[in-house]
Every structure is written in structure tokens, then in C-alpha cells.
Amino acid sequence: MTTLLPETDRGGGPGAHEEAFDAAIAADERIEPRDWMPDAYRATLVRQIAQHAHSEIIGMQPEANWITRAPSLRRKAILMAKVQDEAGHGLYLYSAAETLGASRDELLDKLHSGRQKYSSIFNYPTLTWADVGAIGWLVDGAAITNQVPLCRCSYGPYARAMVRVCKEESFHQRQGYELLLALSRGTEAQHAMAQDAVDRWWWPSLMMFGPPDDASKHSAQSMAWKIKRHSNDELRQRFVDICVPQAESLGLTLPDPELRWNEERGHYDFGPIDWSEFHEVLRGNGPCNEQRLDRRRRAHEEGAWVREAAAAYARKHGEQDGDGRTAA
């Protein structure tokens, strides 16, 4: 497998390869798994794709929390389908990481041992049914804002996975909006539930775009490699500009007294983000960090005997095992 060779092990000398790689990036061409790529490019992509995959599977938890309590069968079907989509996104993304020579087992180990992160947004709790709507509208909305540019990312398998992921995320965002709209126009108690959820999810959603540009350690190189196409602050502004009119249509307010249209900039101004909260949650001190990781580890450990059985059966019968991979 050529993909597993480090850059220095190829014939032709690294210089020629690097030139071809740089030219492909400059021409907006896709880098494919069998193409030469710098080790650091590969490492950056593995880190980013793994973090994205982990976010999908950890992100199942806060919403799955409401599947058994969904207040109508229609809502229950929508929510189950959404949580299932997230598992599917996890699958595509782990597969995309595998094209770079990583294995799903190794990435899961890194998640379980805390060596790789997932999006901090999932360290907040879903306290009411309206949180399901707020996650769809705001969290999935922020994710889409982040991810649509990734459909043009320079690494082919990641870009192609993102096309499908974004289509599904867009459905998730609309179901969240529609759920909140029903609550906002419902009884007084339902309206209050929706407002409370938006109050709690707004600021964490803005933090999803990552630290401000001047404090973001990975941004510049990723942009040069065309893995990332827009800066954190640009994307955050785009998201705010989209949300403000949507909040008005929902009949809900956003919890920021400084939010106002700036004619000169052509954008909404918004208040300062509490980055100390962001860093604390990132450090592991958020309301649900421990709970999310514990549950993930427990599911994995409790499932070990099942995976072992599938592998043993596959060895005996020469079929694909439960992970869908051919047994050794």
C-alpha cells in the first residue's frame, strides 16, 4: 500500500513529489489516497477527520437522551432517523480516515483514552425536549456552516464524504428549526421551553467555530493546504448573520444584548464570547465531559464480547466479521 509509506521512502526524491503536491493544491485539484502527500498534511487530516468522526458518535448521546421520551410518534421517527444518520456519518468519516492509513480501532482507542477530542458542544446536557430543536437549529446549523466549505477540501475522500454529510445535516437543521417553531407557536409552556433552550445553546454554538483567528494554532497551515477554506471568525460571523433573521421568524430572542445590525460592515455585531468557559470545557470540566466519555467507553467495553464473537465466527467460516471487515 503506497499510502502507508512515509514521504521520504518514495523514489524520485521528496523534492519532485512535493512540487507535484504543491501544484495540485495550487490548481485546486484533489489529493487522493494513493498520491504522495507531506506527512504533516496526512497527520492534520487524520486528526481533523478523527475528531469529526468522534463528534458524530459522541453527538448521538445528547439527542438519543430524548428518543424514548419524544412527545409524538412523528417526532420520534425524525429523531431516531437523525441519530442514525450521525452513526452513518461516523462510519463514512472513520472510513475516510482509514484511506490515510489510520484504523478505526486505533482512533477509537485515542478517543476513549482522551488523546483525541470531539466537539466540545456535546459536553452540554439536553435538559428538555426543546434542546433537541436547539441542537438541530443551532448546533447542526453551525456544523453546516463549518462543513459546507469542507466539500471543497483538498483531500478527495474527505470532501466527498462531506457532500453527503452536509445534505443530511441540512435536513437536521431544518427539523430543528421546525421543531422549535412548533414549540414557539404552541402553548405558553412550550414557548418558554423553546426560549430557555435557545438561551442555553446560543453561546456554546458560537464557540463551535473555535478560538478567534489570532489564537487558532492550526488554522494558517490548514488554509494553505486548502483543508480549511475560511477562518474561524469568518465562519462565526456568517453563522450569526444567518441566525438573527431566523430567530425573528421563530419568535424567539437570542441572549445577546449587543446583537445589532452594523450597516457599515454589512454584518451583525455581537457581544464578546466567554472563552474561559470554552477552555474549561475543552480541558474536561464541562457539565457532561465525564458522562459522555464514560458512556462511550462502557458501550465499547460491554460490546467487546460481541466483536470477539463476530471475529471468531469469521475466522471459522471465512466471512466478513461484524465490523464489516474481512477477518485476518
Partner 1 sequence: MSAPRTAVLALGDDALVLSHRLGEWAGNAPVLEEEVALANIALDLLGQARTLLSMAGDEDELAYLREERAFTNVQLVEQPNGDFAHTIARQLYFSAYQELLYERLAGGGTDDAELAALAAKAVKEVAYHRDHAEHWTLRLGDGTEASHRRMKDALEGLWRHTGELFRPVEGLDVDWAGLDEEWTRRITAVLERATLAVPEGPRSSPWAAGAGRQGVHTEPFGRMLAEMQHLHRSHPGASW
Residues that bind partner 1 (CB under 8 A): 57, 60-61, 64, 67-77, 80-81, 83-84, 87-88, 90-91, 94, 104, 129, 179, 182-183, 186-187, 189-190, 295, 299-300, 302-310, 312-314, 316-317, 322-324
In this complex, which beta carbon is closest to partner 1, that of residue 95 or of residue 216?
95
CB of 157 to partner 1, least distance (A): 18
Q: Which helix (H) or strand (E) holds 267?
A: strand 267-269
Q: What share of the chain is helix, strand, coil (3-state, %, to 5)?
A: 70, 5, 30
Least gap, CB of 308 to partner 1 (angstroms): 5
Closest approach, Cβ 87 to partner 1, in A, equals: 4
Q: What is the largest CA-CA distance in the chain?
A: 71
Least distance to partner 1 from the beta carbon of 303, Å? Answer: 2
Q: Which is nearer to partner 1, 283 or 315 (CB)?
A: 315
In the bound complex, what is the minimum distance in angstroms from residue 18's beta carbon to partner 1? Answer: 36
Grid coordinates representing 214?
489570532
CB of 111 to partner 1, least distance (A): 12
Residue type, 224: A
| 67/242 with CB nearer partner 1 | 67
Amino acid at 196: D
User: Bridge partners of 267?
Assistant: 262
End-to-end alpha-carbon separation of the chain, Å? 17
DSSP-based three-state secondary structure for 71: coil
Query: Which of 63-70's residues contact partners 24+ apart within 8 Å by CB, and which partners?
Result: 63/126, 63/132, 63/135, 65/126, 66/126, 66/129, 66/131, 66/132, 69/129, 70/129, 70/132
d(CA 176, CA 131): 9
Phi and psi (nearest 5°) for 320?
-75, 145
Residue among 6 and 303 whose Cβ is closer to partner 1: 303
Cβ distance to partner 1 smaller for residue 140 or 256: 140
Q: Which is nearer to partner 1, 48 or 190 (CB)?
A: 190
